[in-house]
């Protein structure tokens, strides 16, 4: 087994170390995106449920006979408008979906990196050049996903680092 504490001697060993770095980076990125997706789903529910309830109450109050109900209906309508505006502006459902998709794609790259260092690097029928091509493809996929994904909120990243403190977080 090759780890980061021993000096690599062969090109394959160096490639395995890099594949392990990619696996570790994508592990934390995937987990961070999954945590962010959960947070945005909760925000979506926190905005959507009260908006729906207040909208129903406002409608019922507006239909009531008494003048005080018109005031209640008006206040509730303002609350519903504010919650609806926040939902439209923040778009928590879209952010949750985006983070979920990014987490899934990071997991796929992580799985491919693990296959690379657990299986492919031991195959005699694959040349070092072919392995390097596979590794370069993993690196490109990770870099493209880093560029095209929403940033992971700091709170989600800290939660993942705390939850998986036995793993070494990636360095810049």
DSSP 156: H
144 against 171, higher pLDDT = 144
Residue 16 to residue 121: CA distance in whole angstroms: 7
pLDDT at 62: 66
Structure confidence by residue, pLDDT tens digits, 27-62: 999 999 999 999 999 999 998 888 888 777 777 766
DSSP 31: H
- Give, rounded to a whole angstrom, the gap between the first and last alpha carbons of the chain: 25
pLDDT at 75: 80
- The pTM is what? 0.79
Q: For the chain, what percent of residues have pLDDT higher than 70?
A: 88
Residue 63 to residue 79: CA distance in whole angstroms: 18
Q: Mean pLDDT for the chain?
A: 88
Residue 32 to residue 108: CA distance in whole angstroms: 15
Domain coordinates in residue numbering, the chain: 11-163
């Amino acid at each position: 087994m090759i780890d980061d504490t021993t000096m690599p001697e062969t090109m394959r060993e160096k490639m395995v170390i890099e594949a392990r770095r990619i696996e570790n980076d994508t592990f934390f990125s995937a987990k961070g995106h999954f945590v962010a997706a959960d947070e945005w789903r909760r925000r979506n529910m926190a905005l959507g449920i009260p908006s729906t309830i207040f909208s129903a109450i406002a409608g019922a109050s507006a239909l009531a006979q008494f003048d005080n109900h018109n005031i209640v209906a008006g206040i509730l309508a303002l609350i519903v408008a504010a919650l609806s505006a926040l939902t439209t502006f923040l778009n928590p459902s879209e952010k949750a979906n985006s983070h979920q998709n990014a987490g899934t794609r990071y997991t796929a790259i992580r799985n491919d990196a693990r296959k690379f260092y657990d299986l492919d690097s031991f195959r005699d029928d694959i040349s070092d050049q072919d392995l390097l091509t596979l590794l370069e493809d993993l690196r490109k996929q990770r870099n493209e996903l880093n560029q095209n994904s929403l940033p992971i909120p700091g709170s989600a990243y800290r939660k993942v680092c705390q939850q998986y403190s036995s793993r070494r977080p990636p360095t810049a």
